[in-house]
Amino acid sequence: MSFVEYGDTIKDGDTAIVFLGHESMFPVKVQHGTVTQTKYGVIRHSTDLIGKRYGSKVICSKGGWVFILHPTPELWTMNLPHRTQILYSTDISIITMMLELKPGSIVCESGTGSGSLSHALIRTVAPSGHLYTVEFHQQRAQKARDEFREHGVEHLVTVTNQDVCKNGFGVSNIADAVFLDIPSPWEAIGHAKSALKAEGGRICSFSPCIEQVQRTCLAMEEYGFTEINTLEILLRVYNVRTVSLQIPDLGKAAEDNSSTGLDSSNPSHQGNPCANLQQGTVQFKSGVPLREVVGHTGYLTFATKS
């Protein structure tokens, strides 16, 4: 296994995802002789994991079961240890497409943060591309290096511990794309421009506040970037539910059973076997929005160097 190449069976040293149920999972480093505790009991790596196929159901000591999943950047994003606020897959997907990333792309990123976006970038540019990521926090930079090694992608990434606003990305004229997620991106636009290939490339900056966007756009314009475009993407998740609605009693039922005018009163209607006017309810499937959703992550500003 690696984050850029699927493997079939679980091996010693792999990072696997233990899936307990809806939205409940955690990553585990597979090691001979190690055990992992879950609410369903113990998982013994040597006997329960190593040699099994990814996607297997594993019975834990108390009889409950979990699924063991192959890691992907998306699963990692949902489960990684937070060292900073992270970018989630919804933003990551539009960033990847709008930066036109593909195998072979050279990308610069700052800051590395918790490595959520980094893993996705590496996955996309592999096997022939490279990620240069800059993190000014020494401990975070080191933690990211360790993770990349554990995940089998260290050859695709260079982590530099410096201040991108002062010292830039440590490379020049080689990048196809630059991504910025720092508090003052406008101070790094000049460095971004020189990191990009002389022939051009794409840039993206992520900022939660509109004032940051404002300053960034001005800086981009000043440095000659074109196609400056700011957008925001929001995810709406729906729960699939069977909902019952009660039929109001208008005193008609006794008079005429079949004239309510509702679909469900039609006996030939196959889709609603549960509809039952006698009991006074109609059932249907609905995609119900979550009660509370993320309303804002950040503005994404894209531009082209040409």
Q: Where in 27-66 is the site for another protein (CB under 8 A)?
A: 53-57
Among 123, 140, 145, 193, binds another protein (CB under 8 A): 123
Is 117 annotated to bind a ligand? Reply is yes
- Nearest distance in Å: CB 232, another protein: 5
Peptide bond into 111 cis (omega under 30): yes
Looking at residues 216 to 235 of the shown chain, list those that interact with another protein (rule: CB under 8 A): 217-218, 228-235
Told to check if 96 binds another protein by CB under 8 A, we report: yes
From CA 101, how far away is CA 150, in angstroms rounded?
24
- Nearest distance in Å: CB 196, another protein: 8
Residue tagged 């006017």 (tokens): 277
Residue tagged 């990847």 (tokens): 96
Report the b/e string of 169-181 with b at 16+ CB within 10 A.
Answer: bebeeebbbbbbb
Contact partners, residue 178, CB within 8 Å, separation at least 6 = 107, 108, 109, 169, 192, 195, 196, 201, 202, 203, 204
Looking at residues 149 to 208 of the shown chain, list those that interact with another protein (rule: CB under 8 A): 176, 197-201
Among 45, 70, 119, 151, binds another protein (CB under 8 A): 70
For residue 123, the one-letter residue type is R
Nearer to another protein, 143 or 205 (CB): 205
Is 150 annotated to bind a ligand? Reply is no
- Nearest distance in Å: CB 97, another protein: 4
Contact partners, residue 114, CB within 8 Å, separation at least 6 = 80, 81, 82, 83, 84, 86, 140, 144
Among 46, 61, 84, 90, binds another protein (CB under 8 A): 90
From CA 275, how far away is CA 214, in angstroms rounded?
55
Q: How many residues bind another protein, per CB under 8 A?
A: 75
- Nearest distance in Å: CB 243, another protein: 5
Nearer to another protein, 3 or 136 (CB): 3
In the chain, the N- to C-terminal Cα span, in Å, equals 39
From CA 50, how far away is CA 246, in angstroms rounded?
53
Among 43, 92, 153, 203, binds another protein (CB under 8 A): 92
Nearer to another protein, 162 or 194 (CB): 194
From CA 139, how far away is CA 143, in angstroms rounded?
6
Residue 216 and residue 301 in contact, taking contact as beta carbons nearer than 8 Å: yes
Token pair belonging to 57:
């159901």
Is 74 annotated to bind a ligand? Reply is no
Q: Is the dihedral of CA 106, 111, 115, 116 positive or negative?
A: negative
Told to check if 236 binds another protein by CB under 8 A, we report: yes
Nearer to another protein, 13 or 287 (CB): 287
Residue 165 and residue 93 in contact, taking contact as beta carbons nearer than 8 Å: no
Is 93 annotated to bind a ligand? Reply is no
Looking at residues 247 to 286 of the shown chain, list those that interact with another protein (rule: CB under 8 A): 285-286
Nearer to another protein, 22 or 82 (CB): 22
Told to check if 301 binds another protein by CB under 8 A, we report: yes
Nearer to another protein, 76 or 136 (CB): 76
For residue 126, the one-letter residue type is A
Known binding residues for S-adenosyl-L-methionine? 114-117, 135, 163, 181
Known binding residues? 114-117, 135, 163, 181
